[in-house]
Amino acid sequence: MQVWNTLDAWFARRKAIPPGTSIGFVPTMGALHAGHAALVERSRKENDVVVVSIFVNPSQFNDPKDLEKYPRTMESDLAILKSIGTDDVITPAVSDFYPNGYRFRIETNQQQAVMEEKHRPGFLQGVMTIVMKLLNVVQADRAYFGEKDFQQLRTVTEMVDDFFMQTKIVPCETVREASGLAMSSRNALLTPEARERAAVIFKALTGSTNASDAASALEAAGLQVDYVEEHWNRRFAAAFLEGVRLIDNVPLAGAR
């Protein structure tokens, strides 16, 4: 496994990959867990070369404190990636990706803002901007995204289609802990007790008859609900526990 700490170093490596070699790409912000590993393992099965990025993207954080406390575990992340057969890891500095600051950005139609786009102003803008940069940098055949961040996955897929980009976006099912809690880097910020309590999010989403009942179940369990909504034949939730914001979603009954 090779680690590239600058984009210039990566570009030299990218030019050396023979034409016709299939490349799979998994973009991450680090603090890796089994959900990330599943994305990498699928990419390993479907491509000749597997590339992973580790970059905590400042433009998608609307709260500086949230950015500051985001877990950073580079040493263990690299050990995980090496153990599952990653070929290349890109870990550039912020100045590499934003040499002129946050000057140019990709935006959606704000009139249709829902969920993350509504409750975290600038979030999807930041996601789309960095994903477009990453896809241009890696030039992969396929890029793998988890369904836990379903709105992000859907937005990125539509952006790639609208801009005629050549990378295929591959959706992958959410990986869960035994309790049902969706695996997330933010789970590491929870105490063991809170981690057990957080399983109520999945239970509320799957066991309630509607979004309102699911929200009531979360509130009864002591979580601060940001939203529970239904879109695209799925039920979504965002809630705070111990000051940590957790999200999840499930398909509605009968949805394909």
User: What does 84-142 look like in DSSP terms, one character per residue?
Assistant: TT--EEE---HHHH-BTBS-S-----GGG--HHHHHSTTHHHHHHHHHHHHHHHH--SE
Q: What are phi and psi of 175, to 5 degrees?
A: -95, 130
Residues with catalytic roles: 36
Strands 2-4 and 234-241: unpaired
Task: State CA 166 to chain mean position distance.
Answer: 20
Sheet holding 168-172, edge to edge: 2-4, 88-90, 49-54, 23-28, 142-146, 168-172
- The residue type at 184: S
Matching residue, tokens 């539509």:
158
In this structure, what token pair is assigned to residue 153? 């996955």
